[in-house]
């Protein structure tokens, strides 16, 4: 069942890309591996965007621990968080600006997204 779960082109990723276009940002790349995996990048300004899905990254607002196989899920969540912290540190070490969003921020009102995009100087 888990093999059907996508890691790229998820609905939150697509929402972010469409929203960046509405803000006038059209020169972005997808799923760049420079210096680590990221969902959307603007190479000219070295800005990397990540959308962390609430279930896979333990969002304080949305995450509910599965009731079965708790040890597996606890380890999975811990490893996901470690991997993302490492990706953020690697990007910053190479001079990139990192913007992270939660999946729930891609639903409905995108004011938090707009604010962060403006704050980092992407537009």
Structural domain range at position 20: 2-107
CATH number of the domain encompassing residue 60: 3.40.960.10
Q: How far apart are the first and last CA of the chain?
A: 40
pTM for this model (two decimals) = 0.85
pLDDT in tens, 80-121: 999 999 999 999 999 999 999 999 999 888 998 999 998 998
pLDDT-derived band at 55 (thresholds 50, 70, 90) equals very high
| Higher-pLDDT residue of 42, 4 | 42
Query: Based on the structure, what is the number of domains in the chain?
Result: 1
Q: Would residue 14 count as lying in a domain?
A: yes
Spell out the SS3 assignment of 56-107: HHCCCCCCCCCCCCHHHHHHHHHHHHHHHHHHHHHHHHCCCEEEEEEHHHHC
- Report phi then psi at 61, rounded to 5: -85, -40
Average pLDDT, the chain: 87
């Amino acid at each position: 069942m888990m093999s059907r779960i996508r890691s790229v082109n998820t609905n939150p990723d697509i929402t972010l890309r469409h929203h960046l276009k509405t803000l006038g940002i059209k020169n972005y790349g997808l799923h760049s591996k420079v210096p680590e995996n990221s969902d959307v990048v603007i190479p000219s300004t070295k800005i990397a965007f990540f959308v962390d899905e609430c279930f896979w990254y333990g969002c304080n607002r949305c995450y509910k621990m599965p009731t079965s196989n708790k040890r597996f899920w606890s380890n999975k969540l811990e490893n996901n968080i470690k991997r993302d912290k490492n990706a953020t540190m690697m990007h910053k070490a190479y001079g990139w600006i990192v913007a992270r969003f939660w999946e729930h921020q891609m639903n409905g009102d995108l004011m938090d997204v707009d604010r962060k995009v403006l704050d980092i100087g992407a537009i």
